[in-house]
Chains A and B, each alone.
Chain A
Amino acid sequence: DTAVSQTPKYLVTQMGNDKSIKCEQNLGHDTMYWYKQDSKKFLKIMFSYNNKELIINETVPNRFSPKSPDKAHLNLHINSLELGDSAVYFCASSETNEKLFFGSGTQLSVL
């Protein structure tokens, strides 16, 4: 069983489109995250949710909106996609902020 799963694995889209990435974890963790990894492999946090409540919201454009319907799911919706949004987006979860467990990533390419 995959602990943290995200879909889709690859996403290719045109500038200006709206897209969503879904994430689910079956580890029973309370906290979920979205990270962005740029072309230089630098991982940077975007959002963190604890029990459906937003606790970390880094400097991210308003075009990015996370949604957590329950503590096992954290989705990321992106409006008006731009070229600079191209990156790999990782979902992760943790219990008590001690260890992070990552999904396999969504490679987003904006053309």
Chain B
Amino acid sequence: QKEVEQDPGPLSVPEGAIVSLNCTYSNSAFQYFMWYRQYSRKGPELLMYTYSSGNKEDGRFTAQVDKSSKYISLFIRDSQPSDSATYLCAMSEGYGQNFVFGPGTRLSVLP
């Protein structure tokens, strides 16, 4: 079993839809959870960052972490064509430890 699992997609949705992206993980020591967005031929950029369990909202984006289920989610409301990208989840145990990435989900938002 891989340390972090993520549905690779591709996921196609119409403009304005609510998008749900998910990752599961096996290492219960992970405490820091991140979502990155990567456009084609660009480096990943940090979208959301959460420590431990709970929800965090930033504009149209909401990140949820459920440590008991080892499951994290990213919700995108009112999706736009500019949201079309690959979304990578990442997690870390903390200082001095590696960041482990999921394989990414490719999202296409159709106008």
Q: Which residues of A contact B (CB under 8 A)?
A: 4, 33, 40-45, 48, 50, 55-56, 58, 90, 94, 96-105, 107
Contact B44 A45 (CB under 8 A): no
By DSSP majority rule, is chain A's interface helix, strand, loop, or mixed?
A: strand
Interface residues of B (CB under 8 A from A): 8, 32, 34, 36, 38, 41-46, 49, 51, 86, 88, 90, 92, 94-101, 103-104, 106
Q: Closest residue of chain A to B44, judged by CB?
A: A102
Beyond A41-B103, A42-B104, whether A97 also contacts B97 by CB under 8 A is: yes
Whole-angstrom CA separation of A14 from B69 in the bound complex: 48
Q: Which 4 A-B pairs have the closest CB atoms?
A: A102-B43, A43-B101, A104-B43, A41-B104
Least Cβ–Cβ distance between B33 and chain A, in angstroms: 10
CA distance A96 to B31 in the complex (A): 13
13 of the cross-chain contacts (CB-CB < 8 Å) are A42-B103, A44-B101, A58-B98, A97-B32, A97-B96, A97-B99, A98-B32, A98-B51, A98-B92, A99-B34, A100-B44, A100-B99, A101-B46
Interface centre among A43, A48, A102, by most B CB within 10 Å?
A43
Let me know if B99 and A45 touch, CB within 8 A.
yes
Question: Are A100 and B43 in contact, with the CB atoms below 8 A?
Answer: no
